[in-house]
Amino acid sequence: MTMVIDCVAIGEELMKEIVKETETLKTKGITPGIATLLVGDDFGARMYRGQVEKFCEEAGFNYINENPSADVSEEEVIKIVKKLNADPAVSGILPLRPFPGQISDSAVINSIDVNKDIDCFQPFNMGKLALGEATFPPATPAAVIEILERYAREVDKVDPKDFFEGAEIVVVGHSNSVGKPVAYLALNRNATVSVTHVFTSMKGNLAKHTKGADILIVAAGKADLIGPDLVKEGAIVIDVGINRVKELDEKGEPILNDKGKPKTKTVGDVSFDAVKDKTRAITKVPGGVGSVTNRMLLKNALKACKIAHGLL
């Protein structure tokens, strides 16, 4: 019997834990805070900024919005980062990319205080992650691990340590923000990890790997990449992908909205309906990993706040 993992419930539970910890810190006169740095007005980055603001409000955090115009110089942006580094109301700094062309990602990222780098962008923090000593495991990969750990404890009734040790895990996607860090987090838990990517597919080798996975983590950004033929019977499938696709009718034609434009919907990388029954457990999109990601960011900000106040 397949279980659709209720990531929304996991996110809500995490939020309760975060609110409780924040209230305890506030009794000591300490309030955690997150600053976002959006340069210009990229649509996706603005959406993400709004979500961070909403979650900060729910958690009782300070929220600081830095939003210089798209024509700002790199020097000015770095000045803003330095100001945030020195601001005790800011526990964590979140640069929201893409930045305009005149601003180098790495110049901005490298100017963030390593103890305020709550989404693990800094090479120093990525290095610690690789060594198995992550201070701030990046939010999305950490969300994947959190979902699996809760599944191990609550459904399989096993210690997450035993769940991961020797588990055959295949990751699809090798980006610096999702694929590689999630692979490290699983490897550091002594899983047997294979990382596949677009070049694996180009050589026709994707199925060879994914079909051997007891746990399949997919983060490619390609709708319907993973059909039932790529999944082992009884696998656990975690779908990180987020894709906007056209809604189709039964003849495969786009369904139009009142303005005559094709309706769209959000899907993951896994063909959920076709794959679901083959799995032991699966996450869906929307209502999946994304419901946990922002909470992991808040958890990292709480940790950063405690580090700043000598509580950790």
The rounded distance, in Å, linking the Cα atoms of 71 and 220 is: 32
The rounded distance, in Å, linking the Cα atoms of 197 and 270 is: 15
Binders in 242-261 for ligand NAD, by CB under 6 A: 242-243
Contacts 24+ apart (CB under 8 A), 127-133: 129/181, 129/184, 129/185, 130/184, 132/184, 132/188
Selected binder of ligand NAD within 198, 245, 248, 255 (CB under 6 A): 198
Q: Is 46 in the site for ligand NAD (CB under 6 A)?
A: no
Selected binder of ligand NAD within 221, 228, 254, 287 (CB under 6 A): 221
Which residue, 98 or 132, is less far from ligand NAD as judged by CB? 98
Q: Is 211 in the site for ligand NAD (CB under 6 A)?
A: no
Which residue, 33 or 179, is less far from ligand NAD as judged by CB? 179
In DSSP terms, 171 is beta-bridged to 195, 217
Selected binder of ligand NAD within 46, 79, 97, 197 (CB under 6 A): 197
Binders in 136-195 for ligand NAD, by CB under 6 A: 140, 172-175, 177-179
Q: Is 220 in the site for ligand NAD (CB under 6 A)?
A: yes
Which residue, 1 or 202, is less far from ligand NAD as judged by CB? 202
DSSP secondary structure letter of residue 262: B
If binding means CB under 6 A, how many residues of this protein chain bind ligand NAD? 26
Q: Is 287 in the site for ligand NAD (CB under 6 A)?
A: no
Q: Which H or E element spans position 53? A: helix 43-59
DSSP secondary structure of 144-203:
HHHHHHHHHHHTS-S-HHHHHTT-EEEEE---TTTHHHHHHHHHTTT-EEEEE-HHHHHT
Q: Is 293 in the site for ligand NAD (CB under 6 A)?
A: yes
Binding site for ligand NAD (CB under 6 A): 140, 172-175, 177-179, 196-198, 200-201, 206, 219-222, 225, 240-243, 289-290, 293
